[in-house]
């Protein structure tokens, strides 16, 4: 009886080839998962009304959207709210009012707040309108969600909530990017395309 063993060089080549194929397959699976996650989380901006999808009117001929944040939230949230108003003006030519008081609320609002310091996001969480549990205890994460009738007298809101101040700011930057403002607009003179109406 004879046994045949591959020499060590052949065995090494076969193992290396198998490891290489395994790594390629694993890389492909990771890229696919990343792609699927990004598809689910992408914001789209439209200049046309579409009844098929849940649209929020950021700028409209008839609707005046306001931006609200909690004055007790981080200073970075205040800065982010005003930067978003500037970015919306860059694209549309119309600057939304930035407020901190419920008394000045409007039918359509963009709410910006951190999960740990904003009373606005806590109220929405208490009413089960948003889930802050996915953000709590995480670093630099954000959620962007539209909600109808969140408060009395408010028809529709776009909520940008973050796990912390940077996470909230990243959410605001993501909305600015979606409406066409490049983070490089100041340094690289990357002027955004003008859109008089968008949602």
Domain assignment present for 118: yes
Residue 85, φ and ψ in degrees, nearest 5:
-60, -40
Into how many domains does the chain fold? 2
Residue 197, φ and ψ in degrees, nearest 5:
-140, 130
Q: Are 90 and 192 in contact (CB under 8 A)?
A: yes
Q: Are residues 31 and 117 in the same domain?
A: no
Print pLDDT tens along the chain (199 aa): 444 444 544 444 555 555 555 555 544 444 444 443 443 345 555 455 555 556 788 887 788 889 999 999 999 999 999 999 999 998 888 899 999 987 777 889 999 999 999 999 999 989 898 888 888 888 888 999 988 988 888 899 999 999 999 999 999 999 988 888 876 665 656 665 666 555 4
Q: What is the pLDDT of residues 90-139, one digit of tens each?
A: 888 889 999 998 777 788 999 999 999 999 999 998 989 888 888 888 88
Structural domain range at position 162 = 66-179
Q: Are residues 108 and 34 in the same domain?
A: no
Cα 81 to Cα 8, 15, 96, 172, 190: the distances in Å are 65, 55, 10, 8, 21
What pTM value is reported for the model? 0.71
The domain spanning residue 96 has which CATH number? 3.30.379.10
Class of residue 139 by CB neighbours under 10 A (exposed 0-12, middle 13-18, buried 19+): exposed
* Among candidate residues 63, 54, 104, 100, the one with its CA nearest the CA of residue 81: 100
Cα 74 to Cα 78, 116, 119: the distances in Å are 7, 10, 12
Q: Are residues 104 and 154 in the same domain?
A: yes
Domain assignment present for 55: no
Class of residue 152 by CB neighbours under 10 A (exposed 0-12, middle 13-18, buried 19+): exposed
């Amino acid at each position: 009886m004879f046994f045949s063993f591959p020499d060590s060089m052949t065995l090494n080549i076969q193992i290396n080839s198998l490891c290489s194929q395994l790594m390629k397959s694993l890389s492909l699976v990771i890229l696919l998962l990343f792609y699927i996650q990004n598809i689910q989380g992408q914001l789209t901006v439209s200049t046309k009304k579409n009844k098929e999808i849940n649209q929020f009117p950021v700028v409209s001929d008839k609707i005046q959207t306001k931006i609200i944040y909690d004055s007790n939230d981080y200073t970075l949230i205040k800065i982010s709210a005003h930067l978003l108003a500037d970015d919306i003006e860059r694209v549309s030519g119309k600057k939304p009012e930035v407020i901190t008081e419920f008394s000045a609320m409007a039918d359509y609002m963009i709410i910006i707040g951190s999960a740990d310091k904003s009373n606005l996001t806590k109220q929405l969480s208490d009413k089960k309108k948003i889930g802050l549990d996915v953000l709590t205890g995480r670093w630099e994460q954000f959620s962007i969600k539209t909600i109808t009738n969140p408060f009395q007298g408010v028809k529709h809101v776009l909520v940008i909530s973050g796990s912390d101040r940077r996470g909230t700011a990243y959410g605001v930057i993501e909305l600015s990017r979606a409406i066409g403002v490049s983070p490089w607009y100041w340094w690289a003179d990357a002027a955004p395309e003008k859109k008089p109406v968008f949602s």
